[in-house]
């Protein structure tokens, strides 16, 4: 499955009554399966949950725990960056060289590696003395 198509389709199902800013994400797991997520807002948490976090949760629920590729899309002037929390979540499940592509609905894209997206990532190795 094409990640651009998957992220674009799921973006339309975002629940964004406050911001009206729809974001879609698609993740290809190392198994080859594709998982999707969209942002969701609610009155108690109007900034909502992120599309990438939703896709990662779906991936885990599907029994996969390793990311091969990430794609994120939004209707914005420039490719929408992943938030800090999602950057850390992506880094938990992806190798540093995994590609993350951020896109706009009008075709602009920017691809970076996980290492570029989150330099100096906190990892389990930081807790070796615990």
Helix (H) or strand (E) holding 2: none
pLDDT at 22 over 90: yes
Q: Is residue 123 part of a domain?
A: no
Q: Is residue 126 part of a domain?
A: no
Helix (H) or strand (E) holding 38: strand 34-38
1 near 68, Cβ under 8 Å?
no
Q: Is residue 7 part of a domain?
A: yes
Q: Is residue 18 part of a domain?
A: yes
Q: Is residue 128 part of a domain?
A: no
Domains in the chain: how many in total? 1
Q: Please tell me the predicted confidence (pLDDT) of residue 56.
A: 96
Name the burial class of residue 4, with classes exposed (0-12), middle (13-18) and buried (19+) by CB atoms within 10 angstroms of its CB: middle
Please state the pTM of the whole predicted model.
0.92
Q: How many CA atoms lie within 13 A of 70 on its CB side?
A: 35
**Separation of alpha carbons 14 and 21, rounded Å:** 9
Q: Active-site residue 92, yes or no?
A: no
**Residue 50 labeled ligand binder:** yes
Instruction: Quick: pLDDT tens for 84-108.
Output: 889 999 999 999 999 999 999 999 9
**Residue 65 labeled ligand binder:** no
Which domain does 43 fall in, by range?
A: 3-116
Query: Catalytic pick from 9, 52, 69, 92?
Result: 52
Q: What is the DSSP letter of 118?
A: S
**Residue 10 labeled ligand binder:** no
**Separation of alpha carbons 89 and 83, rounded Å:** 10
Q: Please tell me the predicted confidence (pLDDT) of residue 15.
A: 94
């Amino acid at each position: 499955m094409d990640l651009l198509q998957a992220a674009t389709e799921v973006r339309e199902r975002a629940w964004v009554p406050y911001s009206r800013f729809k974001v879609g994400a698609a993740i290809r797991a190392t198994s080859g399966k594709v998982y999707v997520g969209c942002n969701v807002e609610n009155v108690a948490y109007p900034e909502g949950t992120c599309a990438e976090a939703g896709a990662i949760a779906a991936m885990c629920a599907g029994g996969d725990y390793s990311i091969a590729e990430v794609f994120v899309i939004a209707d914005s002037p420039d490719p929408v960056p992943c938030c800090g929390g999602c950057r850390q979540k992506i880094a938990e499940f992806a190798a540093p060289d995994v590609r993350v592509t951020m896109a706009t609905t009008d075709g602009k894209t920017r691809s970076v590696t996980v290492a570029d997206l989150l330099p100096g990532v906190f990892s389990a190795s930081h807790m070796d003395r615990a």
